[in-house]
Amino acid sequence: MPDSSFSVLARVRSFRPSWLSPKVLRTEVLAGLVVALALIPEAISFSIIAGVDPAIGLFASVTMAVTIAVVGGRPAMISAATGAVALVIAPLNREHGFGYLVAAVILAGVLQIALGALGVGRLMRFIPRSVMVGFVNSLAILVFMAQVPQLRNVPWAVYPLFAAGLAFMVLFPRITTAVPAPLVSIVVLTVITVAAGIAVPTVGDKGALPSSLPVPGLPDVPFTLDTLATVAPYAFAMALVGLMESLMTAQLVDEITDTRSSKTREAVGQGVANIVTGFFGGMGGCAMIGQTMVNVKVSGARTRLSTFLAGAFLMVLCIVFGPVVSDIPMAALVAVMVMVCFATFDWHSIAPRTLKRMPAGEITVMAVTVACVVATHNLAVGVVTGSVTAMVIFAKRVARLADVTAVTDPDGSQVVYAVTGQLFFASSNELVGRFDYAGDPDRIVIDLSAAHIWDASSVAALDAIEHRYAQRGKTVEITGLNGPSATLHDTLSGELTTTG
């Protein structure tokens, strides 16, 4: 009987979620609280950008975080109202009203589910590492730039509070890591400012916190094709921007935690979260990179519980403890975010030793990504531009690897051209000019044993070579094609326009 009881107990423990262990539970709970505090000023700021009441952004952060904690594909990642989404939908709210904004959020969610189901998450493997590094560095720069206005034209007391916050973040982990240093810093600095009556900007100065829960409902718009035509462009833009930021952030968390996540589930989860947020009258959102770094890198969270509690705590802090939260000095939160910037930035990527060893093309791609993000304040624009730049550099590099060498038989009856490398649109364009059409003998053999045909441009180039030799009464034999290359060549040869 004791053995049986022990077996049952062991089986129960094997099914127990990891976050139920006391140590992990403490980490997740405290991380969720720190993230909730860090979300408040950000959500209010993004609400102002979108042109809506601060309560809209705060409740959007609540519903996004709680929903994505359940349906998302990347544990410990934080989703909430974001600046990128706010910039996309602000013109719609300004020109047509809040009802159209909510309708766009819901439609964006539907589009994200569709894109997720179509496998858009799998496209992440085509993002080069140099773009990823540029993405990380540019987000650190953007988060830092967002904190700078909080340190301009402020009372002198802000600066020693800010310095004290940084000191707490650096020194407190040397004493203990049981409690996140950002939480200790926020609590201590709030107590000091309130007890001493120090007049500095606080969270309450950013906007009024909500005092009641939102009520679900349908957007206040006419359900017509005209409405759909109005909101669809904004919804599509929001869906793409939201997915790109979320999937890039998920990839970053994968690397930090050395774990894998389902990008398809994350894409679908973002859509579900935006639909839920829209029906609760929220402004929508996506993954928040800064707060995710607070949760994962600074606080050490690893499970969905921290994400769920970030949303739950945010709601409780706003509705129940609004007056207390309003007294938190902005200097404390700015100090937290500045430390996040320094922890997020990949300093190794710009070290002189690294730059000396790194290929020039990789450095260019990273620099282009950072420059575009900082110039446009849009991470999606930087990622797309950086990826396109990387593709162009890669195509030029691979095109140079294609080579042609000629060997003429001793009796002069035929010449064998050995083609090596990858044949695609960039390399095959130069292929036609590598043959001596007038000087070659009547029989020409093109040996492709060390080459691979990738596209129709290469097949067209081979057709053009055969055509030019045929004009001079000479025959061409193509040999050595591997299976895929032979299939592509047999399918398209003679069907494409030849050049003379």
Give 129's pLDDT tier (boundaries 50, 70, 90).
confident
Edge-to-edge strand list for the sheet holding 475-479: 403-408, 414-423, 443-453, 475-479
Which residue, chain included where needed, has tokens 């599509």? 236
Digit-coded pLDDT (tens) for 191-249 = 999 999 999 998 888 777 887 888 899 998 999 999 999 999 999 989 988 998 899 89
pLDDT for 113: 96
Phi, psi of 184 (to 5 degrees): -60, -45
Task: Over range 343-358, report the average pLDDT.
Answer: 88
What is the average pLDDT score of the chain?
87
pLDDT for 16 beyond 50 = yes
Q: For residues 65 and 74, what is the distance between their CA atoms, to the nearest angstrom? A: 12
pLDDT for 279: 95
- Answer yes or no: are the C-beta atoms of 277 and 285 closer than 8 Å: yes
pLDDT for 428 beyond 90 = no
Among 132, 102, 54, 109, which Cα is nearest to 390's? 132
pLDDT for 500: 43
Task: Over range 257-263, report the average pLDDT.
Answer: 92
Which percentage of the chain shows pLDDT scores above 90?
49
Q: Is 494 exposed, middle or buried (0-12, 13-18, 19+ CB in 10 A)?
A: exposed
Q: For residues 127 and 129, what is the distance between their CA atoms, to the nearest angstrom? A: 7
Sign, Cα dihedral of 383, 384, 385, 386? positive
User: pTM value?
Assistant: 0.74
Residue 474, token pair as written in the block: 């000479």
Digit-coded pLDDT (tens) for 155-204 = 999 999 999 999 988 898 888 877 888 888 888 999 999 999 999 998 88
Candidate ranges 12-26, 94-108, 176-190, 244-258; pick with highest mean pLDDT: 94-108
pLDDT for 45 beyond 80 = no
pLDDT for 499: 46
- Answer yes or no: are the C-beta atoms of 235 and 107 closer than 8 Å: yes
Among 499, 485, 472, which Cα is nearest to 446's? 485
Q: For residues 261 and 87, what is the distance between their CA atoms, to the nearest angstrom? A: 28
Q: Cα–chain-centroid distance for residue 470? A: 53
pLDDT for 333: 85
pLDDT for 2: 53
Q: Is 275 exposed, middle or buried (0-12, 13-18, 19+ CB in 10 A)?
A: buried
Task: List, as one string, the DSSP characters of 398-437.
Answer: HHTT-EEEEEE-TTSSEEEEEEEEEESHHHHHHHGGGS-T
Residue 7, token pair as written in the block: 């077996």
Candidate ranges 172-181, 208-217, 387-396, 448-457; pick with highest mean pLDDT: 448-457
Task: Over range 441-457, report the average pLDDT.
Answer: 93
Rama region for 481: left / alpha / beta (φ>0; ψ in -120 to 50; rest):
beta
Q: For residues 437 and 432, what is the distance between their CA atoms, to the nearest angstrom? A: 10
- Answer yes or no: are the C-beta atoms of 337 and 38 closer than 8 Å: yes
Between 32 and 397, the more confident residue is: 32
pLDDT for 140 beyond 90 = no
Give 5's pLDDT tier (boundaries 50, 70, 90).
low
The SS3 assignment for 175 reads helix
pLDDT for 20 beyond 70 = no
Q: Which helix (H) or strand (E) holds 446?
A: strand 443-453
pLDDT for 498: 47
pLDDT for 102: 95
Task: Over range 334-356, report the average pLDDT.
Answer: 86
Digit-coded pLDDT (tens) for 297-316 = 888 899 999 999 999 999 99
**7 CB neighbour count, 10 Å cutoff:** 10
Residue 174, token pair as written in the block: 């040397």
pLDDT for 50 beyond 60 = yes
Q: For residues 42 and 57, what is the distance between their CA atoms, to the nearest angstrom? A: 9
